Each structure stands twice: as structure tokens, then as C-alpha cells.
Amino acid sequence: DSGVTQTPKHLITATGQRVTLRCSPRSGDLSVYWYQQSLDQGLQFLIQYYNGEERAKGNILERFSAQQFPDLHSELNLSSLELGDSALYFCASSDSGRLNNEQFFGPGTRLTVL
């Protein structure tokens, strides 16, 4: 158990819908990262937050947005969902947000878009 929790574990929805994925980092960690794992794209970095502020951005679609709240939990919002958005979405956390600090990964949320 990494200490990072993600809810829900599974999510099934329809095209065009909007969903919210939630992540609670390990106690004391200030930085949260979101990754998407799909069969065709592999494991891709989406976005990083540090203490409530966006720190780095990767291949995140404009239909996707994220935020980190004062209690440090984070949410990833996916809207106008398409079939290709079906994937496993991971959240990770680290204490300082720098590369030399280990990122601890949650178990993931599996999103299925029908």
C-alpha cells in the first residue's frame, strides 16, 4: 500500500459525459501527479501540482482539467468524453515535487467510456 488513495476504482460512462477522478496523496506529500495509461499511448504524464499550484503540464487535452485543493487532495475532471479516453488513470504523490523525490503511485481509476 503506497498510501495514495484514488476513487472510484472503476467508472463506466457514456460518450459526451463528464467525470471526476479523486486522489488523496500520502500524508505530508505536497505534490500530486496525474498519469494516463492506455493500450495505444502507454503511460503518459498529464499534469503536476505542488501545494495547490500547477507545476508542470504534459499531454493533457483541453477537455481535461485538474486542481489541487487546500487539503492537498486533487481532482482530475474529464469532459466531453470520447471512446479513446478509456484508460487507467493514476495519481502519484511526492513530498517536494522534485525529481529526486520518489513518486508513490495509487492503484488507479479504470475509466471505460461506452
The footprint of another protein (CB under 8 A) covers 2, 4, 31, 33, 35, 42-45, 48, 50, 55-56, 58, 90, 92, 94, 97-108
Smallest gap from Cβ 64 to another protein, in A, equals 16
Smallest gap from Cβ 92 to another protein, in A, equals 8
Residues 12, 10: Cα–Cα separation, whole Å = 7
Helix boundaries (H) for the chain = none
Smallest gap from Cβ 20 to another protein, in A, equals 19
Q: Cα-Cα-Cα-Cα dihedral of 92, 7, 85, 51, to 10°?
A: -40
Place of cell 500547477: 54
- Taking the least distance from each CB to another protein, the nearer of 79 and 101 is 101
